[in-house]
Amino acid sequence: MKNYLFIISSLLMYMSNITCKVILEYDDQKRAEVIASSVSPDNDNYIELKVKGSKIECFAEAETPKKLLHTLDDFLACVTIAEENL
């Protein structure tokens, strides 16, 4: 993708919940911080974000694969809008 490397590094089933870790990689830490702060109000605690250098680590959990996919789809749409407006 244009401005970041999109990696789903784990998709694990635990009893009834599914977790996913997504790593977004940018050119520098400042850009990662701006993107993370831009999308934080939109994620409404569905996704936990941690900025580590030029990367944003994103952790999501849902009861079903469909709910997880919906959460990730919404989140990545917000990330795309934030990137396009920098």
- What is the block-wise mean pLDDT of the chain (86 residues), using blocks of 10 residues? 47 66 94 93 81 95 90 93 92
The CATH architecture of the domain made up of 5-84 is: 2-Layer Sandwich (3.30)
Q: What is the pTM of this model?
A: 0.77
Amino acid 10: pLDDT: 46
Dist CA 64 CA 78 (whole Å):
22
Q: How far from 45 is each of 26, 32, 40, 78, 84, CA to CA, in Å? A: 23, 19, 8, 14, 23
Q: Cα dihedral angle (80, 27, 39, 82), rounded to 10 degrees?
A: -40
| Cβ burial 35-61 (10 Å sphere, 16+ → b, else e) | bbebbeeebeebbebebeebbbbbebe
